[in-house]
Structure 1
Amino acid sequence: MKIAFLMRQPAPGGQSVTTEVLRLLRDWGTTVDVLHPENQATNLAEMTPSHDLYVLRSVSDASIAHAGILDSLGARIINPYPVSRDCRDKVLVTALLLRAGIPVPGTWVVERPTQLAPLLDGGPIVVKPTRGSQGRGVHVVWDVDELLELGAGDGPMLAQRFHPRQGRDRKLYCIGGQLFGVKRVWPARTYEEKTGEPFTVTAELRDIALQVGAVIGTDLFGLDIVISDDRPYVVDVNPFPGFKGVPEAALRLADYVYAAAALAVIEAGQAVPRPVGLTA
């Protein structure tokens, strides 16, 4: 089987669950290629699916565009291109969550920071880019002076009512429908802070996570939840997070990806090779 990962160039010496996933898949006899659309010139006339499965690990502009073309050509992708595209649009995904009755902070969309000034009468707000990731460009704004310091962005801005955190943030991860909880400080700077501390997912948080999965249309995702005054609020959804802190995350993800590739091969009418290391 042939699998390609669409992802950013990893930082030298960085610790990544994805790196271990790649190793496991190769150990099982799978041909795995890593593509960095941001670092190469792509000839659109020559693009054609050449792998049984593509894994859309990055939601950068280049990776999303690359995946969109592959999707139009019938390639099998996880997460599916429409899922990743919709999750990347924070305005759209927040609106979908609100419509489904999932708890999110009060949310507004504006073109200019100054349009948010009246909202400060009701307390601080969190301003973020509509297509940001990994906490980049997120600011808690308490007064008009801080608002003016933001300056004009490259596009619309998303603003949400700030809710004081009750303890650490809750990260919920879903792999094939199985849920995992990790408590993490925000912002997390060290590897240990990013790994966080596992916690048992409550029935309330489980219901919220499964609702989110149903709304966005996948069983592989992550979401950030802030607890404030004993109430949970979903503040971010990620179609392919880093899964740091999930027990045996690399093995679980490798198994998920391998199964998806095997299904693609079967549906193409081909035989699935036996993973290396397994006996009859």
Structure 2
Amino acid sequence: MRVGVISADPGHPLLSATAEVLRGAGHRVAFVGPDGGTLPGCPGGPDRLDPGPEGEDTPGPLADVYLLKARTPDALTLAARLEAQGAPVVNSAAATARCQDRVAMAELARAAGLPFAETLRTATVGALAAAAPDLRFPLVLKSRHSRRDDLVARVDSAAELAALAANRHWREEPVIVQEFTANSGWDHKLWIVGGQPFAARRRSELAPGGRGPNLPLPPAAWIEGALHVGEVFGLEVYGVDVLHAGAGVPLIVDINAFPGVRGQVGAPEALAELALRRAASGSA
């Protein structure tokens, strides 16, 4: 089988380990940049599964399946074009896009009956600071558009919000506002790879002192709900961040298409198996 990996980071631990598993079984793997070009110096050098720039003939054969790790607009455009040519893409461009806008994400999740944190407000950080007298603290701010190094912050006062708005990097950032939910201070991280669950718990990024390392968590803790997320969003590789807000009540605070799933024993093998299964089944 020929497997293409759409990512700007061929050295990512999950991706490189998955490529090693696939190549060890005799399959071809090539890393494709979000703009459609084969990445120089990536593992497996001679493999060429480059779909080429839009509008040009394909310079090499299409892969039997593509793994869409990148989530930039260019990557989504490339994935949609590959799907139009009949290539299976995991996750699909449409499913990946559903997880990019946190407003749309919350609306879809709540409409499906998932216990997702409610979006109270949308604005820029600067506009929120101007409206601080009308806000109830503490609250949680998150970048409306999910991406690497986006904003996720607990804000306890108008003064903290003003300080955030004074940061030129964040002042015009579109954000959503969620009510802060009292919890244990631990995020429950659930990852699904082709139906196989993995899980860990980690200090919340909103907790004092930062996240720290992942710690073991039995995946059965909330596996049924996590699988339902995949059905609702059409995802095959995804992560669900869950808080336990007293009395064991789970609250979903984020959903991520194709997360890193770092340090999870068996995850590269599960991803390789999923890639081969989707390649064998053909177009989505």
Question: Which bin holds the TM-score, normalised by the shorter protein?
Answer: 0.7 to 0.9
The yes-or-no answer on 1:216 pairing with 2:230 is no
The yes-or-no answer on 1:229 pairing with 2:243 is no
Task: Map 1:1-280; keep pairs closer than 5 Å.
Answer: 1-9=1-9, 16-37=13-34, 43-46=53-56, 48=58, 50-113=62-125, 114-115=127-128, 117=132, 120-121=135-136, 123-134=137-148, 136-151=150-165, 156-187=174-205, 193-194=212-213, 196-202=214-220, 205-230=222-247, 231-264=249-282
Q: Normalising by structure 1, report the TM-score.
A: 0.81
Q: Which runs of 5+ in 1 are unaligned?
A: 269-280
**Structure-2 separation of matches of 1:87 and 1:261:** 24
**Structure-2 separation of matches of 1:60 and 1:158:** 20
Q: Which runs of 5+ in 2 are unaligned?
A: 39-51
Q: Secondary structure at the match of 2:252?
A: strand
Q: 1:182 to 1:119 in 2, by over 3 A?
A: farther
Q: Which consecutive segments of 4 or more residues in structure 1 shift more than 4 A? A: 38-42, 152-155
Q: What is the deviation of 1:93?
A: 1.2
Is the 1:198–1:246 Cα contact (8 Å) retained in structure 2?
no
Identity of aligned residues (%): 29
Q: 1:58 to 1:153 in 2, by over 3 A?
A: farther
Which range moved further: 170-179 or 131-140?
A: 131-140
Q: 1:139 to 1:10 in 2, by over 3 A?
A: farther
Is the 1:179–1:206 Cα contact (8 Å) retained in structure 2?
yes
Q: 1:202 to 1:54 in 2, by over 3 A?
A: closer
Q: Secondary structure at the match of 1:172?
A: strand
1:210-269 per-position Cα deviation (integer Å, ceiling 9, x unaligned):
2211210234321111122232211111121111243311111111112211222xx79x
Q: Secondary structure at the match of 2:219?
A: coil
> Which structure is higher in helix share?
1
Q: Secondary structure at the match of 2:250?
A: strand
Q: Normalising by structure 2, report the TM-score.
A: 0.80
**Structure-1 separation of matches of 2:279 and 2:28:** 11
Is the 2:96–2:235 Cα contact (8 Å) retained in structure 1?
no
Is the 2:6–2:67 Cα contact (8 Å) retained in structure 1?
yes
**Structure-1 separation of matches of 2:23 and 2:212:** 30
How many corresponding residue pairs? 257
